[in-house]
Amino acid sequence: MTDASENKGLDAQGEVGVVIVAAGRGARAGQADGPKQYQRIGDRAVIAHTLEQFLSHPKVGPVVVAIHADDRELFERAAGAHAGRVLAVIGGPSRQASVRLGLQALRERAPAKVLVHDAVRPFVDAGLIDRTIEAIGEHQGALPSLPVADTLKRESADGMIEETVSRAGLHAAQTPQGFPFWPLLAAHEKAHHLGKTEFTDDAAIAEWAHIPVKIVTGSPDNFKLTWARDIAMADQRLSSALPRFPDIRTGNGYDVHAFEPGDHVTLCGVAIPHDRKLSGHSDADVGLHALTDALLATCGAGDIGTHFPPSDPQWKGVASKIFVEHAAKLVRERGGRIANADITLICEAPRVGPHREAMTAALAAMLGIAPERISIKATTNEKLGFVGRGEGIAAIATASVIYPGEVPA
């Protein structure tokens, strides 16, 4: 459970505890693969978003989450690192029962105030939490709500309109609903003992127990995920905003091969007639070797020698295409998408220009990306050094890959 050290969890009147109810089955949302609080929206589960809002709030102290007995694993997986910062208790057969059990788990800690929130309202924000906490008095609860905007109709048993109901003074209730801790716990326990189980929110129990409740301004964003379409809408909203810190990685590679007697060189997958060949264990395609290293570098997967040791006879004379395709496969297995690849060949001869198009097409096929995402350039070394003396060919390569998720903080 979170602790209240260093003033965290304290407001002017004392500690603020939180009960998040997450034990429902989500029958109306009808998700086949688990209750709505564990559905993924954006990059995390609904409940992870909700927990984050409370756990990052400076006035929030101990947090209890009421979960269903069948959902322990789901909860721990969905809440991730947050799971260790809250107390998970088993909820009851109704929201009301889950709230009571959550409040009872806070009894020992006895915070001055308590907020009760639906796990399935992931768009609660710090301002709303603040407004609610501030409005809680020693003998008064606080309810965020919005005035009803639509005209209201009562339906008759035969599906016709029976009457138009005035919306004057009507509000749609949201959570978190805030209360002084002891009066709310007492009201819940009394209702339980009297078998009163009809309350759909805590403000209704407070009303029954004569605890005055003040309205604070809710937030239109703080909607409850009730139906499947609400989950889809929440996901769309978050996904369109993501990612804020996209995980774009760049890798580079460098390789050199010396000339030896022969009649062609293979560069970027294309055989080019020449008066010598490049020496090497494989086909010595220096451009593809540099690119293989660049791709592997984007996911920390070692280098070409790690995967294809020159000491291994099975790679003797093979086309270097298989090295690049292997590296691209490792990238894809990690969810990566290759954004572009850029190779510079450094040689006095042969001339690369006439083969550039064929090289680009070959690389596009190896990487499974569009040709315009590939750049192949060549330069001489101005007759300087080993390249300038025509002793061999060097290549440098850069690859950019976008991986799923965000760069961790």
Ligand X SMILES: C[C@](O)(CO)[C@H](O)COP(=O)(O)O
Positions touching ligand X (CB under 6 A) are 95, 118, 173-175, 200-201, 224, 226
Q: Are strands 113-118 and 14-22 parallel, antiparallel or unpaired?
A: parallel
Least separation in angstroms between CB 118 and ligand CTP: 4
201 forms part of the interface with ligand CTP (CB under 6 A): no
Annotated binding site for a divalent metal cation: 255, 257, 289
Phi and psi at 386, nearest 5°, equal -65, -35
Least separation in angstroms between CB 173 and ligand CTP: 11
Q: How many residues does the chain have?
A: 409
96 vs 282, beta carbon nearer ligand CTP: 96
Q: Are strands 213-217 and 141-147 parallel, antiparallel or unpaired?
A: parallel
What is the total count of residues that contact ligand CTP (CB under 6 A)?
A: 22
> Which of the listed partners (ligand X, ligand CTP, none) does 197 bind, with a CB threshold of 5 to 8 Å by partner kind?
none
> Which of the listed partners (ligand CTP, ligand X, none) does 180 bind, with a CB threshold of 5 to 8 Å by partner kind?
none
Q: Which of residues 113-132 bind ligand CTP (CB under 6 A)?
A: 118-120
113 vs 121, beta carbon nearer ligand CTP: 121
Point out the residue whose Cβ comes nearest to ligand X.
201
- Burial zone of 34 (CB within 10 Å; 0-12 exposed, 13-18 middle, 19+ buried): middle
100 forms part of the interface with ligand CTP (CB under 6 A): no
Nearest-angstrom CA–CA distance, 205 and 95: 12
> Which of the listed partners (ligand CTP, ligand X, none) does 94 bind, with a CB threshold of 5 to 8 Å by partner kind?
ligand CTP
Exactly one of 58, 93, 335, 353 binds ligand CTP (CB under 6 A); that residue is: 93
19 vs 185, beta carbon nearer ligand X: 19
98 forms part of the interface with ligand CTP (CB under 6 A): yes
> Which of the listed partners (ligand CTP, ligand X, none) does 201 bind, with a CB threshold of 5 to 8 Å by partner kind?
ligand X
Q: Is 144 helix (H, G, I), strand (E, B) or coil?
A: strand
Contact 260, 277 (CB under 8 A): yes
197 vs 236, beta carbon nearer ligand CTP: 197
Q: Could you please report the per-residue DSSP string of 238-261?
A: HHHH--SSEEEEEEEEEEEEEEEE
Least separation in angstroms between CB 201 and ligand CTP: 9
> Which of the listed partners (ligand CTP, ligand X, none) does 66 bind, with a CB threshold of 5 to 8 Å by partner kind?
ligand CTP
Sign of CA dihedral 80, 297, 242, 337: negative
- Burial zone of 243 (CB within 10 Å; 0-12 exposed, 13-18 middle, 19+ buried): middle
Nearest-angstrom CA–CA distance, 185 and 195: 15
Instruction: Provide the b/e sequence for 342-378 (b: ≥16 CB within 10 Å).
Output: bbbbbbbebebeebbeebbebbbebbebeeebbbbeb
Point out the residue whose Cβ comes nearest to ligand CTP.
24
Q: DSSP character for 342? A: E
Q: Where is 177: in which H helix or E strand?
A: strand 177-180
173 vs 345, beta carbon nearer ligand X: 173
- Enumerate residues 6+ apart whose C-beta is below 8 A from 201: 95, 173, 175, 177
Exactly one of 13, 31, 94, 219 binds ligand CTP (CB under 6 A); that residue is: 94
Exactly one of 13, 31, 140, 226 binds ligand CTP (CB under 6 A); that residue is: 226
Q: Is 169 helix (H, G, I), strand (E, B) or coil?
A: coil
Exactly one of 17, 26, 42, 280 binds ligand CTP (CB under 6 A); that residue is: 26
Least separation in angstroms between CB 225 and ligand X: 10
Exactly one of 37, 39, 53, 145 binds ligand CTP (CB under 6 A); that residue is: 37
Q: Where is 78: in which H helix or E strand?
A: helix 72-79
Least separation in angstroms between CB 118 and ligand X: 5
Give which of 46, 351, 71, 405 is closest to 228, Cα–Cα: 46
60 vs 395, beta carbon nearer ligand CTP: 60
Give the x-and-dash track for 62-91 against ligand CTP (CB under 6 A).
----x------------------------x
| Residue ranges binding ligand CTP (CB under 6 A) | 21-28, 35, 37, 66, 91-95, 98, 118-120, 224, 226
